[in-house]
Structure 1
Amino acid sequence: MNFNIYLDDETGQQLTQAAAQAGETRNATIRRAVSEWLSHHSQQHWPEAVQSFKGMADMPIFEASRDRLKPPVADPLA
């Protein structure tokens, strides 16, 4: 997908310098910057149905069965 962006002269010069220092093209620098920005700013949310889930009235509380759990075993792959 292609996009056109317009930068002021100072920002364009800084981009050119940063790309040269990184040893990559300006387009590659922009792609990397956008990808990093999206990964830091995109928020994964649980669906509303999950967020508002209050449990099931006829389901016993997990903690009520904790005393019947078997103790952990040694890791066979360790």
Structure 2
Amino acid sequence: MATRLILTKPKTDRAATVEYLSGLVPAGFTGICEKIPDVDMAIAVALGRGEKIICITGSFFTVSEAMIALGVDPY
């Protein structure tokens, strides 16, 4: 089970805001939940903590931006 969530938003007007996403986190979640305004910064924060596992989920837009931030060609 996750102990930390980082909520973020890709660069598209159709994406949900981090405020909206935070309202969807189950009330029983006892971990840390952070709101970071963009995907690049969210990846940098996660990597800066030395996390061994980072699970990236969301739309193709979110995953594509994350791949670019990680130096992986999404195309």
Is this a same-fold pair by TM over 0.5?
no
Higher relative contact order structure (alpha carbons within 8 Å, sequence separation ≥ 6): 2
Q: Structure 2 length normalisation: TM-score?
A: 0.21
The higher radius of gyration belongs to: 1
Q: Structure 1 length normalisation: TM-score?
A: 0.21
Give the strand-richer structure, 1 or 2. Answer: 2
